[in-house]
A = this chain, B = another copy of it.
Amino acid sequence: MNLNTDFVDKLRNSGLRPTKQRLKICEILFDNDKTFHFSVKDLSKIISQKLGEKISLATVYNTVHAFEKKGYLKEISINSNQTYFDTNTSSHHHFFDEKEKKLIDLKNEDVDPINIKKTIPGKKIKSIEVLVKLDPDNY
């Protein structure tokens, strides 16, 4: 298990103990090369499917927030009844499929750079995010 030792290192290097719960969540989140967008509910479902053992919901929340704090996950701004996270922590924009409730990454080249011409005294720009909502073609 080459990957597993990678995750152990990743966690240790972040000051997080490599527990089996965290390693399992790492495998789900970071084992593939694709960006993964998810809610805690999504993640819990995947865990209970791919896993013999259960991980407590509190632990899933703890882990996701720990990973977010360490910069391995990013929270995404969409209006929903639940919070979404993103394994792509770079600054990027999204489609949001309102029917499927799924986020889709937009690549940098898919959107021209956003230039904000207004400034607010005493404030600086922290992030610029474009959210493109999608509906079915016929609607």
Contacts and interface: CB of A to CB of B under 8 A. Distances in A.
Interface of A: 75-79, 83, 95, 97-98, 104, 106-107, 109-112, 114-118, 120, 122-137, 139
A132 B127 CA distance: 6
A131 B131 contact: yes
B137 A123 contact: yes
B131 A116 contact: no
Contact of A115 (B112, B118, B120): B112
A74 B7 CA distance: 44
A83 to B, nearest CB: 7
A4 to B, nearest CB: 32
Given A78-B77, A129-B130, A135 B123 contact: yes
Contact of A83 (B79, B107, B120): B79
For the complex of A and B, the 6 pairs showing the least CB-CB separation, nearest first, are: A77-B79, A123-B134, A110-B118, A126-B133, A126-B135, A127-B133
A106 B116 contact: yes
B126 A134 contact: yes
Nearest to A110: B118
